[in-house]
Every structure is written in structure tokens, then in C-alpha cells.
Amino acid sequence: MVENKKIDYFGGESDADRWADVKQRRLDSITEEGKAFEARVKDEFPPEEAERIEAALDWMIALHASQEDRKKGELSLAHPLAVAAVVEREYDIQDPDLIIAALLHDVVEDQPLHLAMDSIYAKYPESREFTEKEIKKRYGQEIRELALVVIGGKFGDRVASLVDHLSNPDFNTIAKKGEMAEDRKSRNEVYKEYIAGAIKDPDVFVVKMADFLINVVNTGNLSHDDPKKQKLLSKYGPVIQEVFLPALATLDEHHPLYSRKQALRDQLRDVYQKEYEGKY
């Protein structure tokens, strides 16, 4: 028998403590922007929809609470909150499913096991004896699929589908298929192709646009001495030029971002010229 390492997972035995203080986490940790977001949701949405969005906010906080900071001084949960705030406030989206998907857009990518563990234990009782690493190795893609089922059960199939399309695939695995070499250039190409395909869905486009712009601006603001900056410039630069700018130019009048397409193009072109052009 393998030595059993207790896994702290969403919905598990240790989850009661996490949920007991989740409201306090909200007050203490999610910044003034989070409080303002909550206030707008309560003011702008019917009570039942506001409750759904607040439940998604609770989930997001609980699932990302154990993660390390995305960058020094910023909680991991600050990013999905910022994306949701852009969708709701700057893009004036009044679709609760889109706002919920924005809040949860990283949970399947970052914390699938925390969502799927109950389902894994139920389907594979022997997995209770495995470490987290072993479970990931044995059940792989099924973990992601079960995590999406959990999201669908709580927030509906449309939210689960949106989160699925917003969650990055394993670019390394895809890059190794066929004749592609496993190097940064091939991974970047796979990323670009993934974004181009994902944003064909107008709803996915809305959340991806907010997510991408935040990441692009944050990358431009990194110190030139930061070793991650050049990699990210090479990742995002071609997507700005070859995917988002052409896509924004061709949005039709029925697209949720149609009225903002010129402003978004201007914003992307500005950050590209200042921080990306000639640097990757």
C-alpha cells in the first residue's frame, strides 16, 4: 500500500473549514475592487441571479485560496476577479452566465482535482490510497471532464461549456503531436491556434478578450530584467497581430463587443506599439 497523503480538496473533509471563513476571506483578501464588484452585482441583477454570481465568487475564492501569488503582491484570485469586473463593468455585459464563467475561467485549468476529487473517489475507490501526483497520472484528462461536470451541476451546462472553452489545453502535449518540436516556438503556435478557434464563439470571445488584455498589459509592465517577459512577449505578440486585431475588425453588429470593437482595437494597437513591436 502506498502511504496515503490526505488531499485537501473542494467538497472534501477539510472543506468545512474553508467554507466557514470564505465570507471573511472575501472581506479581507479580494481588495476594494472585489467589494465594488459585489455591490454592482447586487444592484444590477435580480436577486436570484446575483446569488448565482456570488456563489461563483465564493467558489473562485475557495478554489484559488491555496494558490501562490500570480506575481508579487497579487493574490491568484485577483486575476479572475479582474476579468469578471471588466466583463461586467467595462463591457457592460448583463449575462450572468458570462460573468460566472469569467470568475471561474481558471479553476479547471488550475484546480481540477479539487473540483473532481469526490467524483474520482466515488468512481475509483482505490484512489483514496493514492497521492495527488498518482491520481493525476492515472486519471489525467478524466479529472478535467469530471471537474466540468461538477461546474455544470452547480451553475448549468452553458457555464460548464464556457469554462471548458476558456480553459487552456495542455499545449506541450499538443505541440508534441505530429512533426512539431517541443520548443517554445511550437507551443506559442499552438496557443495562437487555440485562441483563434476559441474566440469563434462570441461569448468565449468576450471573456477571452478581457483575460487577454489584462495579461498583455501586465506583461508590458514587467521589468525588462524579468526573465519571463521575453517569453510572454513572444507568446502574446503574434496573437495580438494575427488573431485579435483581425477578429475585432470583422465583428458584426450582433456581436456582444461590436460597439466596443474600435476602442478595443485602439487599446491593443497602443500596447503593442509601446511594449511588443520589434521586441520578440
Per residue in 236-259, pLDDT (tens digit) is 999 999 999 999 999 999 999 999
Same domain, 4 and 111: yes
The mean pLDDT of 191-209, rounded to a whole number, is: 97
Query: What's the pTM value of the predicted model, to 2 decimals?
Result: 0.87
**pLDDT the model gives residue 35:** 82
Least confident of 51-65, 164-178, 263-277: 164-178
**Across the chain, where does the E strand assignment appear?**
none
- Mark 189-220 as b/e (b = at least 16 C-beta within 10 Å): ebbbebbeebbeeebbbbbbbbbbbebbeebb
Q: What is the pLDDT of residues 67-100, one digit of tens each?
A: 765 655 566 788 999 999 999 999 999 999 999 9
Are residues 208 and 279 located together in one domain of the fold?
yes
Among 119, 141, 159, which residue terminates a domain?
159
Exposed/middle/buried for residue 265 (C-beta within 10 Å: 0-12, 13-18, 19+): middle
- 109: phi then psi, degrees, rounded to nearest 5: -70, -40
Task: Give residue 31's pLDDT band: very low, low, confident or very high (50, 70, 90).
Answer: low
Number of domains in the chain: 2
Encode pLDDT of 103-139 as tens digits. 999 999 999 998 999 999 999 999 999 999 999 999 9
116: domain CATH number is 1.10.3210
C-alpha to C-alpha distance for 276 and 280, rounded to whole angstroms: 7
Residues 183 and 155 in one domain: no
Residues 189 and 63 in one domain: no
The answer to whether residues 151 and 196 belong to one domain is no
* Three-state secondary structure call for residue 97: helix
Grid coordinates in use for 278? Answer: 520589434
Return mean pLDDT, the chain: 86
190: domain range? 168-280
| pLDDT, position 178 | 55
142, 159, 176: which is the final residue of a domain?
Answer: 159
